[in-house]
Chains A and B, each alone.
Chain A
Amino acid sequence: MTEQSGKLTKEQFTRVGVDEQASENLVRPSISYWQDAFRRLKKNKVAMASLVLLIAIVFMCIFAPYIYPHPYDEQNIEFTNQGPTLQHIFGLDDLGRDIFARIWIGGRVSLTIGVVGALVSLLIGVLYGGVSGYMGGLVDDIMMRILEILSGIPYMVMVIIVTVFLGKGMSSLLLALCITSWTGLARLVRGQVLELKECEYVMAAKALGTPTLKIVTRHLIPNTMSIIIVQTTFSIPSFIFSEAFLSFIGMGIQPPLTSWGAMASLGQQQMAYYPHELIFPALAISVTMLAFNLLGDGLRDAFDPKLRQ
């Protein structure tokens, strides 16, 4: 094997035995699941950049109208459809309104729909799925039947039914999207709870007489948390997307209120001559979507214990 000096001393043959410390050193320090996930997320540069970007976008949506000199409804009739200039950095729309100012006002609506929608469907989904999975038996059966019927309704149809009844606007849009969007999460949570219920550590907890509430808070919630967080991160952009589509075809946000989808819809009509009117709202949607999706990917990787290393 390795070349040997040939000159070996007796001292070298003194027994040193097992160095307990050294052989145990190889075992990694134990850190909690959440610490570990957070550490991994912090190392993921793409996800962190997305997070920073999202914070910046939210910041702008809140504060831009106070910083930026042009209000979103100010009309410059003589300069309609003007391209980007130093004064109006994203240019003006067909009514001479500043697009940069409107992006942040529209962003308020788009982001609100995304976040509120995701949170509402999270709440309903987790409660429904959790109860269904935890109760099991007949209750589970009935709840799943109802869910199956509800998830058979295409979201477009639901939007139209609600819109016809309540009129167009943000609230009917939110209501329709919430009604159709929680079913996926409910199924996921139910599946997780069913699986966890069969887990030996939950059975052990039951056998030891742990109260139900404690099992739910100690075992079920922490173990479904990661899947819920990831799912919610992905559902925010899908709400934003749905809003954009519906506003684009005129079923969503109505003037004078605006959103990214509504702006893109107006811009599309001017696309042939004034592409900036579509490009900036489209960029706003795309960048936000991208950031949420990349952050979601990062969270999923961070939470996936299979990748833990």
Chain B
Amino acid sequence: MIKYILKKIGYMIVTLWVILTITFFLMNCIPGDPTQDSMKVLPEAVANNLKARWGLDKPLSEQYVIYLKNLLHGQMGESYKTPGLTANQIISERFPASLQLGLQAVAVGLILGLILGILAALHRGRWIDFLTIFIAIIGVSVPSFVFAALLQKYAAGSYFPIVGWSSKGMGIGQIFQYTFLPTVSASISGIATYSRFMRSSVLDVLSNDYILLAKSKGLSNFQIVKRHVLRNAITPIISIVAPQVANIVTGSFVIERIFSIPGLGRYYVESVNGRDYPMIMATTLFFSFIFIFCMVLMDILYAIVDPRVRKSIIEGNK
């Protein structure tokens, strides 16, 4: 098991290194350097000074080695646009909002989606089933920015503010107030996807003989669902949910823009527009890390939930 986890982490490092290398050389292939990028033309002395400060006067391979070295020390570079501000500072300032939004949206999506999916499967052909199918279809067809914009329009002036995000020192009530609308908008596609998969997964499990055996033991429907359906139905869901969770944690860009949330996603887009290469590099690496980390976590979770997967992993390592 530990071997398996180590192997997964190994892959993670290789993937990150590939992304890093590609990004690094691509960015440095682009003609021009940051000193020419600004609106005003810098005097040559100043430009050379800046180049030396950013290490741009050295050959590319040396720059790459320096970058890797700094990275190993946890230093992700300095912004071109706002000299003095490091990527580490910006990420630690901007990421919490993105993470909070992502986690809240995933939690809401998973809880509501799984509950709806289970209820729909258990009451197949009844109104709750049709409601779930309806939500699932609408949720995958309507982009989340449309929901967000509609919510924003019709919630204007209500209890929930339509822009902004919770900040430090707010009470739980205020946090709820500020994060409610963005969370709802970001979670709709999750609710739709998870409920749809959960429904078919539960239906699949229900058709198994072991459910009939559980019933013939005299268990009530509730007990059957709790003890025999849930775990078996959730297992196949994990592999579907994993990339989705990773995507939403790293990619609520749209929601951040609409609700003016000071998240990292928005900053990422801004730094692309401003051609702030060290920041693009740092954010790219950071997002990739979070994404891959989520995927590895899900793989491990999968092995914990399903004993058969655990077995195949252990045997595969022998």
Is B137 in contact with A251, judged by CB distance below 8 angstroms? Answer: no
- 10 closest Cβ contacts across the A-B interface? A152-B15, A289-B141, A290-B141, A154-B291, A282-B146, A286-B142, A149-B15, A152-B292, A271-B149, A165-B26
Q: List 18 A-B contacts (CB under 8 A).
A: A153-B19, A154-B291, A157-B19, A157-B287, A160-B280, A161-B22, A161-B26, A164-B27, A164-B30, A245-B143, A245-B254, A248-B257, A249-B257, A250-B273, A251-B269, A271-B153, A278-B149, A282-B142
Is A249 in contact with B254, judged by CB distance below 8 angstroms? Answer: yes
The answer to the question of B268 belonging to the interface, with a C-beta cut-off of 8 Å to chain A, is: yes
B5 to chain A minimum Cβ distance, whole angstroms, is 15
Closest B residue, CB atoms, query A163: B272
Is B269 in contact with A250, judged by CB distance below 8 angstroms? Answer: yes
Is A157 in contact with B284, judged by CB distance below 8 angstroms? Answer: yes
Is A156 in contact with B250, judged by CB distance below 8 angstroms? Answer: yes
**Cα–Cα, bound, A98→B132 (Å):** 37
Interface string of A268-292 (1 = CB under 8 A from B): 1001100100100010011101100
The answer to the question of B235 belonging to the interface, with a C-beta cut-off of 8 Å to chain A, is: no
Is A154 in contact with B18, judged by CB distance below 8 angstroms? Answer: no
The answer to the question of A74 belonging to the interface, with a C-beta cut-off of 8 Å to chain B, is: no
B residues 137-173 touching A (CB-CB < 8 Å): 137-138, 140-143, 145-146, 149, 152-153, 156
**Cα–Cα, bound, A286→B258 (Å):** 19
Is A152 in contact with B26, judged by CB distance below 8 angstroms? Answer: no
Closest A residue, CB atoms, query B269: A249
The answer to the question of A177 belonging to the interface, with a C-beta cut-off of 8 Å to chain B, is: no
Give the residues in chain B near A148, CB-CB below 8 Å: 11, 15
**Cα–Cα, bound, A164→B280 (Å):** 9
Is A278 in contact with B15, judged by CB distance below 8 angstroms? Answer: no
Interface string of B1-30 (1 = CB under 8 A from A): 000000000011011001100110011011
Give the residues in chain B near A152, CB-CB below 8 Å: 11-12, 15, 19, 288, 291-292, 295
Chain A contact residues: helix, strand, loop or mixed: helix
**Cα–Cα, bound, A251→B269 (Å):** 8
Is B152 in contact with A154, judged by CB distance below 8 angstroms? Answer: no
Interface residue count on the A side (C-beta < 8 Å): 36
Give the residues in chain B near A245, CB-CB below 8 Å: 143, 145, 253-254
The answer to the question of A100 belonging to the interface, with a C-beta cut-off of 8 Å to chain B, is: no
Interface Cβ pair total, 8 Å cutoff = 113
Known: A157-B287, A285-B146. 6 other contacts (CB 8 A): A165-B26, A244-B143, A248-B145, A249-B254, A268-B149, A289-B141
Interface string of B241-255 (1 = CB under 8 A from A): 000001100110110
Give the residues in chain B near A165, CB-CB below 8 Å: 26-27, 29-30
A151 to chain B minimum Cβ distance, whole angstroms, is 8
> Which residues of B approach A to under 8 Å, CB–CB?
11-12, 14-15, 18-19, 22-23, 26-27, 29-30, 137-138, 140-143, 145-146, 149, 152-153, 156, 246-247, 250-251, 253-254, 257-258, 268-269, 272-273, 275, 277, 280, 284, 287-288, 291-292, 295
> Which residues of A approach B to under 8 Å, CB–CB?
148-149, 152-157, 160-161, 163-165, 237, 241, 244-245, 248-251, 264, 267-268, 271-272, 275, 278, 282, 285-287, 289-290, 293-294
Is A286 in contact with B143, judged by CB distance below 8 angstroms? Answer: yes
Is A272 in contact with B153, judged by CB distance below 8 angstroms? Answer: yes
Give the residues in chain B near A161, CB-CB below 8 Å: 22-23, 26, 284
Is B272 in contact with A153, judged by CB distance below 8 angstroms? Answer: no
Is A272 in contact with B156, judged by CB distance below 8 angstroms? Answer: yes
Contact A289 to B142, CB < 8 A, known contacts A248-B254, A249-B257, A271-B152: yes
Give the residues in chain A near B14, CB-CB below 8 Å: 149
Closest A residue, CB atoms, query B275: A164
Give the residues in chain B near A290, CB-CB below 8 Å: 137-138, 141
Give the residues in chain A near B156, CB-CB below 8 Å: 272
**Cα–Cα, bound, A155→B251 (Å):** 10
Give the residues in chain B near A237, CB-CB below 8 Å: 141
A243 to chain B minimum Cβ distance, whole angstroms, is 10
**Cα–Cα, bound, A282→B140 (Å):** 13
**Cα–Cα, bound, A248→B257 (Å):** 9
Contact A289 to B140, CB < 8 A, known contacts A148-B11, A272-B153: yes
Contact A285 to B149, CB < 8 A, known contacts A152-B295, A160-B268, A164-B272: no
Which of B142, B146, B269 has the most C-beta atoms of chain A within 10 angstroms of its own C-beta? Answer: B146
**Cα–Cα, bound, A165→B31 (Å):** 10
Contact A149 to B11, CB < 8 A, known contacts A157-B19, A161-B26, A165-B26: yes
Is A286 in contact with B272, judged by CB distance below 8 angstroms? Answer: no
A280 to chain B minimum Cβ distance, whole angstroms, is 11
Give the residues in chain A near B287, CB-CB below 8 Å: 154, 156-157
**Cα–Cα, bound, A179→B95 (Å):** 27
Give the residues in chain A near B26, CB-CB below 8 Å: 161, 164-165
**Cα–Cα, bound, A176→B300 (Å):** 29
A253 to chain B minimum Cβ distance, whole angstroms, is 15
Is B141 in contact with A156, judged by CB distance below 8 angstroms? Answer: no
Is A154 in contact with B246, judged by CB distance below 8 angstroms? Answer: yes
Give the residues in chain B near A268, CB-CB below 8 Å: 145, 149, 258
Is B273 in contact with A154, judged by CB distance below 8 angstroms? Answer: no
**Cα–Cα, bound, A50→B272 (Å):** 39
Give the residues in chain A near B11, CB-CB below 8 Å: 148-149, 152
